[in-house]
Amino acid sequence: MSTEYTFDKGKKACSKCARDFASGEEFVSTLHAAGEAFERRNWCRSCWTTPAADVFSFWKARMPERATRRPDNRTLLLQVFENRLRQEPREPAEAKLTYLLALILVQKRQFRLRDSVRRDGVEYLDLLKVADDRTLLVPVAPIADEEIDGLKTELEKLLETGPPAAPEEGAPGG
Ligand SMILES: [Zn+2]
């Protein structure tokens, strides 16, 4: 089954000056949503200024120093979720990103799914942020059930830095 969404991971180089990042170098990554495309761009520290208007979220990244293990990305996912520049999604693709991030964070037990609620014809996930007991409502995006798992996986890969880690066979599935 083909999906209409595309994920552009960007190169491990600065989007502006095109310089390759060195091992251990810190840089800034931005996440963009446009149409059905989710795109990551990377910025070296001298090229980074402030997030442009089309940035969905941004975070500090670091090139791994050789064969490092895949870092625990729960903190990163929370940061990307909470660094969103706009609370109201600008376009449907941003609503999908928000929804997918929320689902990943539920799977990683950072959010607890309490209920789903409907207000003014819109369905929301009623979530509890485990770390500080904060509740939040995230609108359910119109994504087909059979597409969700694939999209979550792609989004997690998009946020990773460095070489792909070994597949986690037999990991508990949430
Ligand atoms: Zn640069």
The alpha carbon of 27 and the centre of ligand 1 are apart by a number of angstroms equal to: 9
Query: What is the residue range of 94's domain?
Result: 6-159
The 3-state DSSP class for residue 10 equals coil
The alpha carbon of 28 and the centre of ligand 1 are apart by a number of angstroms equal to: 10
The alpha carbon of 84 and the centre of ligand 1 are apart by a number of angstroms equal to: 23
The alpha carbon of 21 and the centre of ligand 1 are apart by a number of angstroms equal to: 9
Sign, Cα dihedral of 39, 45, 48, 50? positive
Does residue 167 lie within any of the structural domains? no
> Edge-to-edge, what's the strand order for the sheet holding 134-139?
111-119, 122-129, 134-139
Does residue 164 lie within any of the structural domains? no
Give, for all 174 residues of the chain, the pLDDT tens digit: 444 667 776 668 899 999 999 888 999 999 998 778 888 999 999 999 887 778 999 999 988 876 555 556 888 899 899 888 777 777 788 889 999 999 999 999 999 999 999 999 999 999 999 999 999 999 999 899 899 999 998 898 888 876 544 444 444 444
Q: What CA–CA distance (Å, rounded) separates 85 from 49?
A: 15
pLDDT of residue 71: 59
pLDDT of residue 168: 44
The alpha carbon of 49 and the centre of ligand 1 are apart by a number of angstroms equal to: 11
Q: What CA–CA distance (Å, rounded) separates 118 from 139?
A: 9
- pTM here is 0.76
Does residue 165 lie within any of the structural domains? no
The alpha carbon of 1 and the centre of ligand 1 are apart by a number of angstroms equal to: 38
What size, in residues, is the chain?
174
Domain count, the chain: 1
Does residue 174 lie within any of the structural domains? no
The alpha carbon of 63 and the centre of ligand 1 are apart by a number of angstroms equal to: 14
Does residue 144 lie within any of the structural domains? yes
Does residue 166 lie within any of the structural domains? no
Which tokens hold the place of 77?
């996912």
